[in-house]
């Protein structure tokens, strides 16, 4: 296989900029290069040196464009692609009015194929190369998702959403079906190619204790899988959980009691956490996922990014399609910045970019697999044009340093800023 040498600015991290000063862990090279060999990064360094060391490599010169890891979207619902930007509902109403009717349509494999392929094409156009997606309760929706990713060579995470109450009849399964179908899908997909399976109870209100318990048992049998669910998204939801689980100490305890709390657990939203929940998440090494456009679009609340970072809870960033209002991780970073500003914190661009790449990869237990530019990591890359629109370009003309050149693309960029995407070492 031919070597590919990508030339441009490069940016990668040597540590967590929420735990150490960003200046200490950030590596930016103005005249950088990335060498790709057999689907992996072989070398990162100065372009003059790598050009000299590997004269046989095919050169891809991106000029002043920025080469970064592909974006990692740690929490999405690909079946909701067609209902993104649906007007005016709180969480429970939004699920009943838009989400559940659309998800029932994906029991048709043909339609599931169409939506899965459409979603992945849109995600790639925005520079997202990996995502963790909820499918529907229909196994066909899981097959469609993993098949579509397989044809594109993408590393993706997904799982059958499990619900046995408080949902339409067309989406309801049982505790036994949730176990059997999830186990079948794990055997079919997990670890095959670049597919990773996540055991996926939607959230406590749509699962009986019996279903949560049997999914916890499945996770203990297959601990190599991830487990993804929702936690503490809206106040009304939390009241509902308390009514449904009167013996639980808090929302997290509804999972903890049934074996659904652990290091490979990924908990979306996690806005209204109590001190015990924060301490427990940190203790077990679990991760929470910030979904800023969704949290504001549906009116859920303000995620305490800096407080959770201080507590050393694992952190990821996500679009939460379709409750989120943009497929773009650039727009998602901008929303995270805006939410933090409302809480009196100006997040540095280095921290935002880390969240959207290595941070999310780490939250999904894919550190050193994707999400960074270093030898041995899979070559999923995004090349950003930092002058993609006239509005951005005029700001960059007045930039005093690299970060002032990057920040306008984070705040105002979209798919037009994505010059090129590489997946498993191939340009797409």
Render pLDDT for 358-405 as a digit per residue (tens, 0 to 9).
Answer: 999 999 999 999 999 999 999 999 999 999 999 999 999 999 999 999
pLDDT band at 91; cut points 50, 70, 90 = confident
Q: Which CATH architecture has domain 4-70+372-427?
A: Roll (2.30)
pTM of the predicted model, to two decimals?
Answer: 0.97
**pLDDT at residue 1 in the model:** 60
Burial of 247 (0-12, 13-18, 19+ CB in 10 A): exposed
Residue 404 CA to residue 417 CA, distance in Å, equals 16
Residues 6+ away with beta carbon under 8 Å from 273: 231, 232, 252, 281, 288, 304, 308
Element (DSSP H or E) covering residue 210: helix 209-221
Half-sphere exposure of 115 (CA within 13 A, CB side): 29
Please name which of 289, 299, 383, 381 lies closest in space to residue 336, comparing C-alpha atoms. Answer: 289
Instruction: Check residue 94 and give its pLDDT.
Output: 82
**pLDDT average, residue stretch 260-278:** 98
Shortest CA distance to 213 belongs to which of 238, 179, 180, 239? 179
- Nearest of 272, 265, 304 to residue 287 by alpha carbon: 265
- Could you confirm whether domain 71-363 is CATH 3.40.50.2000? no
Q: pLDDT tens, 36-64?
A: 999 999 999 999 999 999 999 999 999 99
- Average model confidence (pLDDT) across the chain: 97
Residue 88: pLDDT band with limits 50, 70, 90: confident
Sequential DSSP letters for 17-46: TTTS-HHHHEEEEEEEEEEEETTEEEEEEE
- Segment holding 156, helix H or strand E: strand 156-159
Q: How confident is the model at residue 313 (pLDDT cuts 50, 70, 90)?
A: very high
Q: Where does the pLDDT of residue 89 fall: very low under 50, low under 70, confident under 90, or very high at 90 and above?
A: confident
Fold match flag (4-70+372-427 vs 71-363): no
Burial of 376 (0-12, 13-18, 19+ CB in 10 A): exposed
Say if residue 295's pLDDT is above 70: yes
Each domain of the chain, given as residue ranges in start order, spans 4-70+372-427, 71-363
Structure confidence at residue 385 (pLDDT):
98
């Amino acid at each position: 296989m031919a070597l590919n040498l990508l030339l441009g600015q490069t940016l990668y991290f040597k540590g967590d900029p929420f735990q150490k000063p960003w200046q200490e862990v950030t590596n930016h090279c103005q005249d950088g290069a990335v060498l790709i060999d057999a689907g992996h990064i072989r070398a990162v360094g100065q372009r003059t040196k790598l050009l000299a060391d590997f004269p046989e490599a095919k050169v891809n010169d991106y000029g002043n464009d920025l080469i970064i890891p592909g974006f990692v979207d740690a929490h999405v619902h690909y079946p909701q692609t067609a209902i993104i930007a649906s007007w005016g509902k709180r969480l429970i109403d939004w699920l009943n009015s838009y989400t559940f009717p659309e998800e029932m349509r994906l029991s048709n494999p043909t339609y599931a194929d169409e939506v899965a392929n459409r979603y992945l094409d849109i995600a790639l156009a925005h520079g997202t190369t990996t995502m963790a997606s909820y499918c529907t309760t229909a196994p066909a929706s899981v097959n469609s998702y993993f098949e579509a990713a397989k044809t594109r060579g993408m590393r993706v995470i997904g799982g059958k959403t499990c619900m046995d109450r408080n949902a339409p009849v067309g989406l309801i399964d049982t505790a036994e079906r949730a176990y059997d179908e999830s186990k079948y899908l794990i055997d079919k997909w997990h670890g095959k190619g670049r597919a990773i399976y996540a055991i996926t109870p939607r959230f406590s209100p749509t699962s009986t204790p019996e279903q949560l318990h049997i999914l916890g048992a499945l996770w203990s049998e297959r601990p190599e899988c991830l487990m993804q669910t929702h936690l503490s998204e809206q106040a009304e939801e939390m009241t509902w959980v308390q009514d449904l689980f009167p013996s639980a100490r808090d929302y997290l305890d509804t999972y903890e009691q049934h074996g659904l709390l652990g290091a490979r657990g990924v908990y979306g939203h996690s806005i209204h956490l109590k001190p015990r929940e924060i301490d427990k998440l940190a203790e077990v090494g679990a991760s929470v996922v910030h979904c800023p456009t969704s949290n504001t679009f549906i009116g859920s609340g303000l995620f305490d990014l800096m407080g959770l970072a201080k507590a050393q809870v694992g952190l990821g960033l996500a679009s939460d399609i379709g409750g989120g209002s943009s497929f773009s991780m650039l727009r998602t970073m901008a929303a995270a910045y805006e939410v933090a500003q409302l809480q009196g914190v100006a997040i540095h661009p280095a921290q935002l970019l880390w969240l959207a790449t290595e941070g999310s990869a780490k939250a999904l237990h894919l550190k050193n697999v994707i999400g960074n530019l270093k030898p041995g990591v899979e070559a999923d890359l995004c090349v950003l044009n930092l002058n993609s629109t006239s509005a951005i370009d005029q700001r960059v003309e007045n930039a005093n340093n690299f970060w002032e050149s990057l920040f306008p693309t984070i705040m105002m960029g979209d798919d037009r800023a994505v010059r090129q995407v590489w997946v498993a070492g191939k340009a797409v």
